[in-house]
Amino acid sequence: MAEQFDLVILGSGSTAFAAALTAQELGKTAVMTEARIVGGTCVNRGCLPSKNLIEAARLLHDARHPRYPGLTPCEMAVDVQTLVAQKDEVIHDYRANKYASLVGGQIHLEHGRVQFVDAHTLEAGGTRLVGQHILIATGSRPVIPDIDGLQDVPYLTSDLLTSDEPVELKDLPRSLLIMGGGYIALELGQMFHRFGTEVTILERSAQLLAHGYEPEVGLTLAEIFADEGIRVLTHATVAQVRQDREEVVASARVRRQAQEFRAERILIATGRRPNTDTIAIERAGISVNAQGEVEVDAFLRTNVSHIFAAGDVIGRETGSQMATPVGSRDGGIAAHNALAGGPLRRVDHRVIPRVIFTDPQAAVVGLTEEAAVAAGHRCWCNTLPMSLVPRAGAICNTQGFVKMVADANTHEVLGVFMVGESAGEVIHEAAMALHFRARLQDFIDLLHVYPTMAEALKLAALSRFKDPRKLSCCAE
């Protein structure tokens, strides 16, 4: 016998939970389905565990490298098993409080791999689920490149941060090769290095963070990583991988020169792809694009009128990005549009702030200079070093820069890119400004607390009219 629901949701990540909670608020029934662990990527193996361990690695690094003369470096002992155990405890608590405890009443959960049977019916773990409406929220998984020999070596992926699954990494490798130069490669690469692993990053493109970021972001982080002792190679294409006793050997071409790299482990961080190829999506007649992302309109409807999709599984459709807050917002919108019976809500992907949790952090929002020009703007842009920001000098941490992209005619601020201390907090001021289509003068008129890193934004805006090197203390 099939069970009937107002909304059947494929997946149980942040996107799925947002949809299930909205369904509950509307007095409807919803069922989520999960093949792995309830809660999905963010809580179990993404945002939460990575930020937990990255902060521990930062404490270790700061103790070894105090920024102030007069503070003596010291070596903290690292107990990896205890660190991993506390990370698992943080995940367990968070998962229990923010996910598992919400299941019940009108929100159901079915364990097992889910697949379409037809456009209204799904099967998960031997149970048939019939939905008046359906939401695809199956997220994404690491892309494993087709490299000779890779299938024969025990490679790591970003799943290494998981808990309660065999792929969890519980020991520190002595040395690590990382394939890829995107945000996951950088966050995990710096973390492992700081815990004591010898890290080499191999990036195929001409620079780190090659897509969607101002070039200065990747170049600055590459310099900071190199100064810290992390080996970063760009123009590096791995052609073959093999195991040689205790080591993985990667044969690569680096700027057309053949080179071999050896390490105890290899981590594949070459991007993520949507989980649309494992759910028999064709049985429901749903269209996916060339990247395998579910095609949706601005109301998150697929080409099949009662089926919606949101979160990582839509990739860059409608200008979306793979990030937890985007899925959490859109899951609610999709459920509303499916179930509320009122006016439809439209997604808004114009302003999506992003942070890379390296140290210093990189934070971005809005259009790059190149994208702004392509969109028809005549641009004014300026890049200022963090050394001009009073707080950066005061706390002896002047690494990084801020870049502002604005329309040269209207002065509307179109994009902000920052590498620096607390960039992940500062970027919210810029995001709010872009949300309200603020102009350079709005950043200047706002009194900023002195001395804060957010003054970087005011200084960048001021630099359109004055030389920020010739200002007194409060950026006026």
Ligand X SMILES: Cc1cc2nc3c(=O)[nH]c(=O)nc-3n(C[C@H](O)[C@H](O)[C@H](O)COP(=O)(O)OP(=O)(O)OC[C@H]3O[C@@H](n4cnc5c(N)ncnc54)[C@H](O)[C@@H]3O)c2cc1C
Min separation Cβ 89 and ligand X, Å: 19
Distance of CA 122 to the CA centre of its chain: 30
According to the binding rule CB under 6 A, does residue 156 interact with ligand X?
no
Residue 158 C-alpha from the chain's centroid: 12
Q: Does 50 bind ligand X (CB under 6 A)?
A: yes
How many of the chain's residues bind ligand X (CB under 6 A)? 35
Q: Is 332 in the site for ligand X (CB under 6 A)?
A: no
Is 327 one of the binding residues for ligand X (CB under 6 A)?
yes
Question: Distance between CA 191 and CA 169 in Å, rounded?
Answer: 14
Which is nearer to ligand X, 359 or 455 (by Cβ)? 359
Q: CA–CA separation, 100 vs 110, rounded Å?
A: 12
By beta-carbon proximity to ligand X, the closer residue of 31 and 232 is 31
Asked if 13 interacts with ligand X (CB under 6 A), we say yes
The answer to the question of residue 36 lying near ligand X (CB under 6 A) is yes
363 touches ligand X by CB under 6 A: no
Q: How far is the CB of 379 from ligand X (least distance, A)?
A: 28
Exposure class string for 97-120: b at 16+ Cβ within 10 A, else e: eebeeeeeebbbbbbeebbbeeeb
400 touches ligand X (CB under 6 A): no
- Of 30, 53, 91, 114, the one binding ligand X by CB under 6 A: 114
Question: C-beta of 103: minimal distance to ligand X in Å?
Answer: 14
Residue 452 has which token pair? Answer: 């804060």
Under the binding rule (CB under 6 A), the answer on residue 207 touching ligand X is: no
Contact residue for ligand X among 191, 209, 279, 416 (CB under 6 A): 279
Helix axes 183-195, 47-64, angle to 10 degrees: 40
Collapsing DSSP to helix, strand or coil, 114 comes out as strand
Segment near ligand X (CB under 6 A); pick from 27-35, 202-210, 282-290, 437-445: 27-35
Residue count (the chain): 476
Closest to ligand X by CB, 40 or 218 = 40
Q: Would you count residue 367 as binding ligand X (CB under 6 A)?
A: no
* Residue 57, C-beta contacts closer than 8 angstroms, at least 6 positions apart: 190, 191, 194, 195
CA torsion through residues 417, 419, 421, 425, sign: positive
Does residue 113 touch ligand X according to CB under 6 A? Answer: yes
Residue closest to 188 by CA, chosen among 215, 159, 163, 216? 159
With contacts defined by CB under 6 A, name the span among 39-47, 334-342, 414-422, 458-466 that binds ligand X.
39-47
Q: How far apart are CA 108 and CA 100, in angstroms?
A: 11
**Binding test (CB under 6 A) with ligand X, winner from 97, 151, 243, 278:** 278
| Sign of the dihedral through C-alpha 329, 335, 337, 339 | negative
Buried b (16+ CB within 10 A) or exposed e, 305-343: eebbbbbbbbbebbebebbbebbbbbbbbbbbbbbeeee
184 binds ligand X (CB under 6 A): yes
Q: How far is the CB of 15 from ligand X (least distance, A)?
A: 3
The residues of the shown chain that bind ligand X, judged by CB under 6 A, are: 11-16, 33-36, 40-42, 46-47, 50-51, 113-114, 137-139, 158, 161, 184, 275, 278-279, 311-312, 322-325, 327
